[in-house]
Structure 1
Amino acid sequence: MLNVCLNCGEYRVDKLIESKDRKTFAICPECDHAHEFLQLPLIIVTGPSGAGKSTIVSQLSSLTKDFVVMETDILWDDRFNSPETNYLEYRELWLRMAKNISQSEKPVILCGTAMPEQLEQCIERRYFSELFYIALVCENNELKERLQNRPSWRGSNSDEFINGMIAYNNWLRENSGKNEPVINLIDTTNISPDETAQKIVTLISDKWI
């Protein structure tokens, strides 16, 4: 558990991160103890509901064993429903989990709706070498049809929800290349989940493998 100092036992998220001789250390603000850790990249697969994020989780896991693939919805609870903080507590929770998982020498791929600004502001962000963003998008009519055809328990077929997802879809399509950091787009309108997963693996492989 990286946030607990192995020397003084204090819990501090805000450790100083320093690199030396190709090693990275988290330095405790209380006692200056330097804890070596693996500062790996974190891959974020985002996009509007209906674009295909949840569908490709199992395909991604079967295509590559070099990463740990997780869907962020599995930890959602209404206590994290805090739009006034831009869902900060929930984002911190996932970054903390991904940070600890990555100490097993496998980077994490997180699949779930998120904006870069929600993650880049997190204090846990410092423990990753890079956040690499991939967004799944599709044509608006296709997105609307997918959301309307979902089971009612998912609560995604109201006009308000659909219009919100279409707005997010449009924002990604218009701003992905201008955003900092850049968001890599994959259009899922006319491709299968298997093809989508393969495109994600190719994007990641081209960058790191």
Structure 2
Amino acid sequence: MEGERLVCVVCGHRAAFHRLPLLALTGPSAAGKSTVGPELARRLSGEVVVLEQDVLWTGALRDDVDGHPAFRSTWLRMAAMIHQSGRPVVLCGTVVPPEFEPLPERVFFSDIHYLALVADSDVLARRLRRRPAWRGWDEPRIAEMLEFNEWLRRDGPSLAPPVELFDTTSVPLGESVAYVERWVRRVLADAAGSSAS
């Protein structure tokens, strides 16, 4: 990358490249990402592309390295290519700044903004235990997710960049969707204002 142009390291060819902000809707399982995502996509149709990260969770990308860098890199490359249409991406999935920020593909984005849906751990545990057995939510896996939830609640706002939090413990779906929609619009308006100045 050279400013807003993509530069081939072999031949030096330069091409225009949109570096838009990426919006990551994150949080633990059962906090509401997969429920909010489809409704958000409907409300923001034509303005942003809302993607569910688990669609790409295939065997070829299940590397054993912490943070799953091959999986994360693939998502960043896909989002960057979608950005070339001029439409920003909202990526719904369990991701945090330490997993995206160090990757080489991070250069494709002007910024990455994070909003985590979180909830009280006892509520999350009840939601996860109600899931069908084929989804594999045994007690050790639930405990791991609750630990992630508590870590986000405690440390998310102090990460670099910070993770904004929204607690869905007792919030109706419509209110959660409205909050996330306002967050998306605010982030994009701020980005448009920054690029104009």
Pairwise CA distance, 1:25: 0.2
Residues in 1 aligned to 2:37 and 2:158: alpha-carbon distance in whole angstroms: 27
Aligned to 1:76: 57
The 5-angstrom pairing of residues 145-160 of structure 1 reads 145-156=126-137, 158-160=138-140
The letter of the residue matching 2:11 is: C
Pairwise CA distance, 1:116: 1.4
Pairwise CA distance, 1:123: 1.4
Aligned to 2:185: 205
Aligned to 2:33: 53
Higher Cα Rg, which structure: 1
Aligned to 1:98: 79
Greater helix content: 2
The 5-angstrom pairing of residues 172-183 of structure 1 reads 172-183=152-163
The letter of the residue matching 1:29 is: V
Q: TM-score, normalised by structure 1?
A: 0.86
Query: Does the aligned pair in 1 maintain the 2:27–2:93 contact within 8 Å?
Result: yes
Query: Does the aligned pair in 1 maintain the 2:21–2:188 contact within 8 Å?
Result: no
Residues in 1 aligned to 2:59 and 2:22: alpha-carbon distance in whole angstroms: 25
SS of aligned partner of 1:49: coil
Pairwise CA distance, 1:96: 0.8
What stretches of structure 2 of length at least 5 have no aligned partner? Answer: 190-197
| Sequence identity percentage | 37
Aligned to 1:36: 16
What stretches of structure 1 of length at least 5 have no aligned partner? Answer: 1-16
Residues in 1 aligned to 2:154 and 2:167: alpha-carbon distance in whole angstroms: 13
Aligned to 1:9: none
Aligned to 2:166: 186
Pairing 1:119–2:103 present? no
Aligned to 2:123: 142
Query: Does the aligned pair in 2 maintain the 1:67–1:107 contact within 8 Å?
Result: yes
Q: TM-score, normalised by structure 2?
A: 0.91
Residues in 2 aligned to 1:192 and 1:153: alpha-carbon distance in whole angstroms: 27
Residues in 1 aligned to 2:98 and 2:124: alpha-carbon distance in whole angstroms: 24
Aligned length: 188
Aligned counterpart for 1:67 among listed residues 13, 32, 48: 48
Residues in 2 aligned to 1:40 and 1:205: alpha-carbon distance in whole angstroms: 14
Query: Does the aligned pair in 2 maintain the 1:134–1:184 contact within 8 Å?
Result: yes
Residues in 2 aligned to 1:33 and 1:58: alpha-carbon distance in whole angstroms: 39
- Give the structure, 1 or 2, with the largest relative contact order (CA under 8 Å, sep 6 or more): 2
Residues in 1 aligned to 2:142 and 2:172: alpha-carbon distance in whole angstroms: 22
The letter of the residue matching 1:100 is: M
SS of aligned partner of 2:166: strand
Pairing 1:129–2:113 present? no
